[in-house]
Amino acid sequence: MPLKFQIYLCCEKGGEFTMIEKNMLRDRADCLPPVTDEMYEAFNEENKSILNEFLDNSTHLSKQSVKQYTSALRIFFNYVKDYLKNKPVYEISKRDFLKYVTFLQNHGLSSSALKMKKSAVSSLVNYIETFVVEDDVNYEKFKNFTKGLPVISANKVYEKVKITKEEYDFLIDTFISQEKYLYACWVAVSFNTGCRKEEARQFKSEIANYPFPDDKSFIDSHKIRAKGKGADGKVLSYMFNREAIKYVKLWLEKRGYEHEYIFTTKYNNEISRVSEDWANDLCTRIISNLLNRRINPHIFRASAATYLMEKGVDITKISKYVLHHESLEVTQRYLIRDESEEKDSIF
């Protein structure tokens, strides 16, 4: 049995596996410990109050963003409790916040993680400036302590390497040979539609029954909620080609039960949609070991766009109909280009 298959089976059975480091550019940061409810209760009462008020009034944020902001703001106020004598937010200075950002940087967080945590605090501070200062005497001297700090320099934890068509075929063949039809279906849908992992969770089984028009090479999915502001986000549909539909039908045929959604699991006779972290785990524990480099779900989205570009599809069409971006500039950042061919043409 090939070594990659052995690694795959070991991971699948819950055995030990080696974290792939091949395309890592620096060491991973340890996750910041979660702020428990008990830790939260020790926060300054004013900080708890303004945190809850801000979150209650953040109707412009998506459900996922609210979750991220809640975590980020709890981490911030826990720092305030541990290192700033639990002072109320209206006494926090710019110097205090710089120390907090430095604390996060020293912990080794990526620039994207730093920016998200800084953005959460900045949003809270903007809310205070706009809605609280005029109504609360405690905030009469409040100043925005998030402005004027040094810009967070971009860094990367790992080098993004595209998934090639040959690697895609290898993954499909591997999962089919091991009768892991759910995994094959996810790989096929992700690579061929360019959807995000959370969007994949929304795809319904009914898609397999949509008729293919004779003059079309794709069908449109039902409407789903994509990444965007507010509770509704951006409502759109994804194009499913015949390749994606082929493995959707295979999985639905093999799973042995009916369910509204495509991506489901069955444990102890209980059937449910895959969890929010399921695709991350699949990529980390299985696919990364099969391809021998660090893979996450977002690499599939970038690889889908890159593969289409390399086939000669107009990038503006990829941007509009596959990635559903608002601007071409964003799409350009998604593409994983092979610089070797460009370099070969220099001399």
The residues assigned a catalytic role are: 196, 227, 298, 324, 334
Nearest-angstrom CA–CA distance, 147 and 137: 22
User: For residue 197, which amino acid is it?
Assistant: K
User: For residue 284, which amino acid is it?
Assistant: T
Nearest-angstrom CA–CA distance, 138 and 59: 26
Contacts of residue 73, Cβ cutoff 8 Å, sequence gap at least 6? 51, 54, 55, 120, 121, 124
Instruction: Answer for the pair 194, 238: CB distance below 8 angstroms, yes or no.
Output: yes
Q: pTM of the entire structure? A: 0.69
Nearest-angstrom CA–CA distance, 186 and 201: 10
Question: Environment class of residue 74 by beta-carbon count within 10 Å: exposed (0-12), middle (13-18) or buried (19+)?
Answer: buried
Instruction: Answer for the pair 171, 290: CB distance below 8 angstroms, yes or no.
Output: yes
φ/ψ (deg, to 5) at 194: 75, 20
In angstroms, how far apart are the furthest CA atoms of the chain? Answer: 72
- pLDDT tens column, 103-149: 998 888 888 889 899 999 999 999 999 999 999 999 999 999 999 88
- pLDDT tens column, 174-193: 999 999 999 999 999 999 99
From the centroid of its chain, how far is CA 95? 32
Nearest-angstrom CA–CA distance, 123 and 95: 18
CATH architecture for the domain at 37-139 = Orthogonal Bundle (1.10)
Nearest-angstrom CA–CA distance, 300 and 340: 21
- pLDDT tens column, 73-110: 999 999 999 999 999 999 999 999 999 999 998 888 88
Instruction: Answer for the pair 35, 43: CB distance below 8 angstroms, yes or no.
Output: no
Q: The domain 159-302 is classified under which CATH number: 3.40.50.300, 2.60.40.420, 1.10.443.10, 3.40.50.10740? A: 1.10.443.10
Which residue spans within the chain are E strands per DSSP?
Answer: 218-220, 224-226, 234-236, 239-241, 264-267, 270-273
Domain spans of the chain? 37-139, 159-302
Instruction: Answer for the pair 225, 218: CB distance below 8 angstroms, yes or no.
Output: no
pLDDT, tens digit only, all 347 positions of the chain: 344 444 444 444 444 444 545 544 445 556 688 899 999 999 999 999 999 999 999 887 777 788 899 999 999 999 999 999 999 999 999 999 999 999 998 888 888 889 899 999 999 999 999 999 999 999 999 999 999 888 777 655 557 889 999 999 999 999 999 999 999 999 999 999 999 999 999 999 999 999 998 888 999 999 998 876 655 668 999 999 999 999 999 999 999 999 999 999 998 889 999 999 999 999 999 999 999 998 999 999 999 999 999 999 999 999 999 988 888 887 887 787 665 555 555 56
Alpha helix stretches (DSSP H) within 89-235 = 94-106, 111-127, 165-177, 181-193, 197-200
65 token code pair: 């963003």
